Amino acid sequence: MSALALSVLLSLISAVAYAAAAIVQERVAAATPDSTYLRQGAWWGSVALNGLGALLHVVALACGPLTLVQPLGALTIVFALPMAAVFVRRKAGAAAWRGAIMATAGLAGLLALTTDADADSVNGGQRLILAAATFAGMGALFLGSRAVHKPVLRSVLLAASAGVSFGMASVFTKVVAEDWNDGLKLSEVPSLLAIAVLAAAGLLISQASYRGAGLAAPLATVTVVNPVVAATVGLTLFGEEFRYGTAGLAIALASGVVAAGGLILLTTERMSTPARRSRTERQTTTAERGTLPGIPAPGQSAESGDGKSTGDQRLTPPALR
């Protein structure tokens, strides 16, 4: 098996592990208040799944280019679709499946255009600039999330910060992997520390992003931002490229747009489902109000048992007191 094929296989298994971890995290965040999720065994199970996904991802990065391995991570949300349907009974509509197909097709296009060329090395000065820019960007997104009050927007900003963190953690992992053949040197310690800090920050920020917005919006944001950041660095600093020169780059960009469009379509459909369910529940509750003792339906007056109006006197059920 070639190094490129091995990196693809490992990336696929890694995406499955990440999808399972995200589903568990979302369920824990919905059921557990504040930071007490740290006491939940299920949450630590998600950490283990994330660890497995990260380990496979590291090996995939050592075997393949950033422009391939990171975009394949977008399959996380595609795999999460059927897994959520099976394990948490969350069914997806036709739009979500169309989005999944678009995302898969776009990623297949990127895969077909990826070359197995050696990556360029990144020197110490470039690494320092990358680290400074990364933490500045993450900080700006985090502060922005604190300034907004809409749960979905807040979650998207936090997820974007987590996506930057995960993407740049992969970049530094690729840096260390490229230098690994010469043995681990003392100069690699700052890069290893950056990987540890970015991975931990990404995990905690992504956990926070799931609160109040469900799974779809934050997971899609992380899944899109992560490969965009890493692939941009791969193309600009590592000298990675696609087949067929400029034409191949144009086709690769088009494939990326198709994949991103699929993720947006998938996310939009999944975000609309809770809203429809909420409206249905409100309508059902309103209709049922007229059947409760002493509580009239909209437009009706409260009446006593003999059919005469009781005026402003209305009985309140014990559950509503």
Pairwise CA distance, residues 2 & 148, whole Å:
48
pLDDT digits (tens, 9 = 90+) for 28-67: 777 776 666 667 788 888 889 988 998 898 889 888 888 8
pTM over 0.75: no
Q: Give me the residues paired with residue 114 across strands.
A: 242
pLDDT in the model for residue 240: 81
pLDDT digits (tens, 9 = 90+) for 105-148: 998 888 888 877 666 677 778 889 999 999 999 999 999 999 98
pLDDT in the model for residue 159: 92
- Portion of the chain with pLDDT greater than 70, in percent: 78
Q: Are 88 and 230 in contact (CB under 8 A)?
A: no
pLDDT in the model for residue 187: 75
- Portion of the chain with pLDDT greater than 90, in percent: 19
Nearest Cα residue to 240 out of 60, 115, 71, 113: 115
pLDDT digits (tens, 9 = 90+) for 78-102: 888 888 878 777 777 788 888 889 9
φ/ψ of 303, rounded to 5, equals -125, 150
pLDDT digits (tens, 9 = 90+) for 262-287: 877 876 665 555 545 445 445 544 44
Sequence-distant (≥ 6) Cβ neighbours of residue 49 within 8 angstroms: 17, 18, 20, 21, 24
Pairwise CA distance, residues 49 & 126, whole Å:
32
As a whole number, mean pLDDT of residues 196-218 equals 85
Whether residue 316 has pLDDT greater than 70: no
Q: Are 258 and 224 in contact (CB under 8 A)?
A: no
Pairwise CA distance, residues 93 & 89, whole Å:
13
Pairwise CA distance, residues 97 & 100, whole Å:
5
Q: Are 77 and 101 in contact (CB under 8 A)?
A: no
Q: Is the model more confident about 26 or about 56?
A: 56
The one-character DSSP state at 114 is: B
pLDDT in the model for residue 222: 84
Characterise 211 by phi-psi region: left (phi > 0), alpha (psi -120 to 50), beta (else).
beta
Pairwise CA distance, residues 222 & 225, whole Å:
5
Q: Is the model more confident about 257 or about 290?
A: 257
φ/ψ of 242, rounded to 5, equals -105, 165
In a 3-state reduction of DSSP, which class is residue 309?
strand
Whether residue 296 has pLDDT greater than 60: no
Confidence at 312, pLDDT banded by 50, 70, 90: very low
